[in-house]
Structures are given as structure tokens and as C-alpha cells.
Amino acid sequence: MDEHEAQNGQGAANPQGEQPNNQTMESLLASESLSVELPQVGEIRKGMIASIGSNQILISIGAKSEGVVAGRELEQLTAEERAELKVGQEVNVFVLNPEDQNGNVVLSFKRAQEEMSWENVEKMITEETVMDTKIIGFNKGGLIVAVGNLRGFVPSSQISAGRRAQSSGDTPEQRWQKMVGQPISVRIIEVDRERRRLILTERATNNESRASMKDRVIGELEEGKIYTGRVTSLAEFGAFVNINGADGLVHLSELSWDRLTHPKEILEVGQEVKVKVINIDREKKRIGLSMRALQDDPWKNRVEKFSVGQLVEGTITRLTKFGAFARLDGDIEGLIHISELSENRVEHPKEVLKEGETKTLRVIRIDGEQHRVGLSLRKVDSAAFADKDFKMLTQEFGEQGEETQPDEESSSTEETKSE
């Protein structure tokens, strides 16, 4: 071993002069990078204020680079809010951009507060929480109240009779102005996060009486039975329906067989509906309801014309990394898994298919419970389905023959004419 090898430790660590194990090094780097959870757009993170400057605030959020609150986001903070911020303070931040042109994570205080407030009100509507707040404004339709960092609206129809009795006059100012600043107890009846809509009702009964009423109703309800109820509130995840004095939840997926994005598409507060009790959790005092269970499943009617092994024509509608979707006759959509595209290895469906093209496919699976149809491109010419294809072809040929074959009377006429 020469002096240079001794200084670099090569002789001791690698006596046979082998090259370093690149695979081991790559694995080490990979595991090291995986240990860092990179921020994602729309994510809310806890961070610690690292520094506060006149033009920006740096926040450590555990990523490889610090996040920054600057520009318009910084301008939205009031002087009082900025004065409350201290170096070392833990704060919640919303990720606007995981990496800008300078490599910084762009963050927002305000958006974090807003998103957390929406999450909170969605929880409150589920738990039927009554909150004490105050009236901060009004418009021609009713009162505006503070709900955390959000503003909620109490329509005049949802204001208590006692408070409405205090209002008089022809203009909103005359009716509601004197109520600004007054305390009010309200409960959330509608949450629409996308439209930034938060509707409240002033509650006349207390928590104890409502809780005891719900206990009584839960004890009387039976799973599987159908009841008539009234819609009391709407949220993005479903609708609450009151049955005999207790609210149950009709989840968005249980409202209809059609795909909905919000209950307001088919329901409104106060509407009378029939529901089926599908679940009762007496410990958590939750009632699961369904409107869909009282409707015929249109998917099963549309899929009746298909059978496993059948050849069908399908139009490619979407390509994803795990396969392709194809629309069949009857508005049924099926999935061609990437393993069913070709006998050869396929990295991505775009190597084999294009959106919009029509292909002959084979039905390999029908799942009525999950509403799924499995399709195959590689099994179209499979010998395993030769008998089924022959029977289908024979059946089609027979039907065509019956349509074209002349009846006996017309045949006899033709023979007479020829004689």
C-alpha cells in the first residue's frame, strides 16, 4: 500500500481495488430522500417562524428549503396580526406553490386559517353543534354572523320568532341595524365550500332537550324500515334528514344512482323525502339513511345486454397509467386494465390506444355490486372463447336467416309463375 492509498483509506476499505457499490449508494440516497415529506399544493402544514423581515417571513416546515410568506400574502396581514408573530412561534400555513422560480415553498397564513375554518364547520354540521357568536352585519335577506374566520348567513326565515318580533320597518336598516353586536346562538344547516356558502339557523331549543329527543328516536328506529322525514341541512358530503325529531345523514353516495357533486342538485332545506334506515350507531348516536335504496338501479338494466366472454365495440374515453376506459353501447363504461392491452409488456396505454378510437373488446368481468365492467383487448382473439364466439355467430346468422327467408305462400307463388 502506497502513501496515497493509506491517506485515502482505499487499501483498508477496498483491498482488492474494487469499485464502490453504486447500488448501495443509490439506495442510501433514495431512502434519505424518502424520509423528507415534500410539501404538496393545498396542504396545510405546521411550521416554525425562522425569521421576520419587512418583505417576507421565512417559515421552517421540515422540507429541504424554508417556506416563505411574501408579496400579496404578506400584505393581507393586518398590523396587529404581524405584531403578534414571533420568531420560534409555531404556526399553520397553506402551501400555495411547492417550489417557485427561486426554489422556495410559497406559503399563506390566511388560506390556512380559512381552510381550517371550513373543516371545522363541516365537523360542526355533522355533530349538530350549537355555537354562541354575535351578529356582525345584515343584508335585505337576513343577518350575518361570525363563525370563526368565516361569515355565516341567517336567513330571515331562520331567525327566532322572538328576535323577529323586535324587528320593524320597511328597510333592512330599520329591521336589523339595531341587532348588530347582539349575541346569537346558531346551528349550521348548509355548507357549500366551493361557493363559500354557509347558512345558519337560530336555535330555539337547548342541547339537552335535543339530545334526549335523539336518544328516544334512535331507540325506536329499525334498520331496513322506510320513514318520511324533512331535509334540515345540506353539506358537500350529504344531506341531514329529520325523522321524528332526530337528524340522520344521507351520504352523497346514498342520495341517487346518478353521480352528484352536491345535494343541492336534487334537494333543498325543508323538503319532505322518504328514506330507508341503513345503519344505526347507538353508541355514537348516528343514523345512516339512504334515498338511493328506494330507487331502481338503472345500471343493472343497462348492463343486462352484456355477458362475460362477449365481443363488444367500445370507444376509448380515457387513458390512465393503470389502463384505459371504454364506453360501450348503453352508456356503460368499462376498464381495460393495462395487463389486458397486449400480450407484450406495455408501459402506458398510449402505446396501444388513442382516445376517441373505437375498438373491438371482450367482456371478461361484470361486477354488479361495484358497477364495474372489465374489458380485454388482448383476449379478443383468444382460443379460450372460440366456442362462445361460434355460438354467437351461429345465433346471429340464424336470426338474419329468419329475417330474409320468404314464407311458404310467397315461395309457392314464385314456383307457379316460373312454371
**Which domains are seen in the chain, by residue range?**
44-114 (2.40.50.140), 128-202 (2.40.50.140), 208-294 (2.40.50.140), 300-397 (2.40.50.140)
- What is this structure's pTM? 0.48
* Residues 366-375 pLDDT 10s: 988 788 899 9
Distance (Å, rounded) from C-alpha 35 to C-alpha 23?
Answer: 18
CB 61 within 8 A of CB 74: no
**3-state SS assignment for residue 314:** strand
Residue 78: which residues within 8 A CB-CB, separation 6 or more?
none
Distance (Å, rounded) from C-alpha 266 to C-alpha 244?
Answer: 22
Per-residue pLDDT, 53: 86
Going by C-alpha positions, the residue among 191, 177, 287, 204 that lies closest to residue 242 is 287
CB 236 within 8 A of CB 252: yes
* Residues 265-318 pLDDT 10s: 999 988 999 999 999 998 888 999 999 999 988 888 888 888 888 899 999 999
Is 70 exceeded by the pLDDT of residue 405?
A: no
CA dist 298 → 50, 62, 75, 329, 330 (Å): 58, 50, 53, 14, 11
Of residues 37 and 11, more confidence is placed in 37
Q: For 73-84, what is the mean pLDDT?
A: 82
Per-residue pLDDT, 392: 67
Phi, psi of 397 (to 5 degrees): -65, -40
Distance (Å, rounded) from C-alpha 213 to C-alpha 244?
Answer: 9
